[in-house]
Amino acid sequence: MTHMVYPGALHTRFQHVIGAMHLMQLAIDTLRSKGVLVSDEEEEAALVAILLHDIGHGPFSHSLEHTLIEGVSHEVISSMLMDRLNVEFGGKLTLAITIFNDKYPRRFLHQLVSSQLDTDRMDYLNRDSFFTGVSEGVISFDRIIKMLAVKDDELVVEAKGIYSVEKFLIARRLMYWQVYLHKTVVGAEQMLIKALKRAKELSNQGYDLFATQALQHFLKNKVNADNFTTEESHLNWFTKLDDTDIMSAIKSWVNHEDKILSTLCSKLMRRDLFRTELRSQDFSEEEIAMVRDKAKQHFDLSEAEVDYFVYHQTIYNSAYSADKEPIKIINNKGKLLDIAEASDLSNLEALSKKVVKYALIYPKELGFVEDGITFNFE
């Protein structure tokens, strides 16, 4: 839904994976030029792994991740699809899958696919920065890749690349707060999620809703962690879905008789998005109750129905997780250091801190919640 705020952000997951493959190729070329042996099989497998790493994403990716199918992450679906493809290709993807699942002993190949400094992130930061115009996200992917090295089969970064890595982590943090977790985007995503949820509810109640056959499948059936992996048809239908299934339905539902569904869809189509208030301290129960009351009256809703119009969210992000596998720096004597120790500039500490914000999302018709003491970052 980022394009609701940044109209240029219309690039696709296809473009992203092609870009990430390109970076993987550059990374492998760089490592080889430094004497790291990478066989042709390993090269192909790493390229396939990054090509397919996001294949389990459905329409609107993260936004609808747990809405169409409850409790099944896109990673699980990616894994299922890779296994299918592997059968189709007569086992040729086995090494790629092994790398993807981090079961291959030469771990740097997996780390290039998925880690705190992987080609996935390097591609999406630059790409999203480019298409949104938020130049804070620009990173020197070429320099970072040139600084990559391998020590004991683990991916490391040469010491003189430390500033570029720091910049990469900072860029990621800024992109989260300016783009991925932009409050208007967060609000629009919730509206979309709630519209789909309402459509499922109405379908279950026996209402007839316009939808493509594939989308109908997920509106009418309760697909979840229990049955998704056991009944093959669910995955079949899932692969037929894309954004046009969702958008052609949302457009149709603007005229649906159910007021809640039609209001949400109509507001989405007209970009009459909900207001999102974002704070560093959480909203009080009184404030939330007040907003819910206003919504109840204004839209004539029952207590349960208010959930479709007022959303309370907790949002958080940390640029660098000290808990997860750290980014390792290697100096020119071959000694390894965690980047947090190697940085003499002490910024990593700040970057490791988890930043939490609280959102209250509601229709603009309801006015403003007075923000009292907190400083409001409009």
The answer to the question of residue 233 lying near its own copies (CB under 8 A) is no
In Å, how far are 1, 3, 167, 276 from 134, measured between CA atoms?
A: 16, 13, 15, 20
End-to-end CA distance of the chain: 19
What is the rounded CA–CA span in Å between residue 64 and residue 197? 10
Q: Which of 346, 23, 317 is nearest to 166 (CA)?
A: 346
By CB under 8 A, name the one of 335, 364, 365, 367 that touches its own copies.
335
Q: Which is nearer to its own copies, 45 or 319 (CB)?
A: 319
The answer to the question of residue 353 lying near its own copies (CB under 8 A) is yes
* Piece in contact with its own copies (CB under 8 A), picked from 64-72, 115-123, 210-218, 222-230: 210-218
In the bound complex, what is the minimum distance in angstroms from residue 352's beta carbon to its own copies? Answer: 11
| One-letter identity of residue 310 | V
Draw the binding track, 248-267, toward its own copies (x: CB under 8 A; -: no contact).
x--xx---------------
The answer to the question of residue 212 lying near its own copies (CB under 8 A) is yes
In the bound complex, what is the minimum distance in angstroms from residue 248's beta carbon to its own copies? Answer: 4
Q: Which is nearer to its own copies, 323 or 378 (CB)?
A: 378
Draw the binding track, 176-205, toward its own copies (x: CB under 8 A; -: no contact).
-xx---------------------------
The answer to the question of residue 39 lying near its own copies (CB under 8 A) is no
Draw the binding track, 129-148, toward its own copies (x: CB under 8 A; -: no contact).
-----xxx-xxx--x-----
In the bound complex, what is the minimum distance in angstroms from residue 332's beta carbon to its own copies? Answer: 5
Q: Which is nearer to its own copies, 61 or 248 (CB)?
A: 248
By CB under 8 A, name the one of 236, 244, 284, 297 that touches its own copies.
244
* Residue for token pair 């208010």: 306
Q: Which is nearer to its own copies, 119 or 129 (CB)?
A: 129
Instruction: Count residues binding its own copies (CB under 8 A).
Output: 61
Q: What is the CA radius of gyration of the chain?
A: 23
Cβ burial 236-253 (10 Å sphere, 16+ → b, else e):
ebbeebeeebbeebbeeb
In the bound complex, what is the minimum distance in angstroms from residue 130's beta carbon to its own copies? Answer: 11
Q: Which is nearer to its own copies, 7 or 91 (CB)?
A: 7
362 DSSP β-pair partners: 275
Q: Which is nearer to its own copies, 229 or 374 (CB)?
A: 374
The answer to the question of residue 33 lying near its own copies (CB under 8 A) is no
The half-sphere exposure of 39 on its side-chain side, counting CA atoms within 13 A, is: 6
The answer to the question of residue 94 lying near its own copies (CB under 8 A) is no
Q: Which is nearer to its own copies, 111 or 164 (CB)?
A: 164
| One-letter identity of residue 108 | F
In the bound complex, what is the minimum distance in angstroms from residue 250's beta carbon to its own copies? Answer: 9
By CB under 8 A, name the one of 270, 285, 333, 334 that touches its own copies.
333
Q: Which is nearer to its own copies, 224 or 236 (CB)?
A: 236
Strand 154-158 and strand 328-330: the pairing is parallel
What is the rounded CA–CA span in Å between residue 118 and residue 127? 14
User: Which residues of the shown chain bind its own copies in the complex (CB under 8 A)?
Assistant: 7-8, 10-12, 14-15, 18, 134-136, 138-140, 143, 158-160, 162-164, 166-167, 170, 173-174, 177-178, 210, 212-213, 240, 242-245, 247-248, 251-252, 280, 331-333, 335, 337, 342, 344-347, 349-351, 353, 355, 357, 375-378
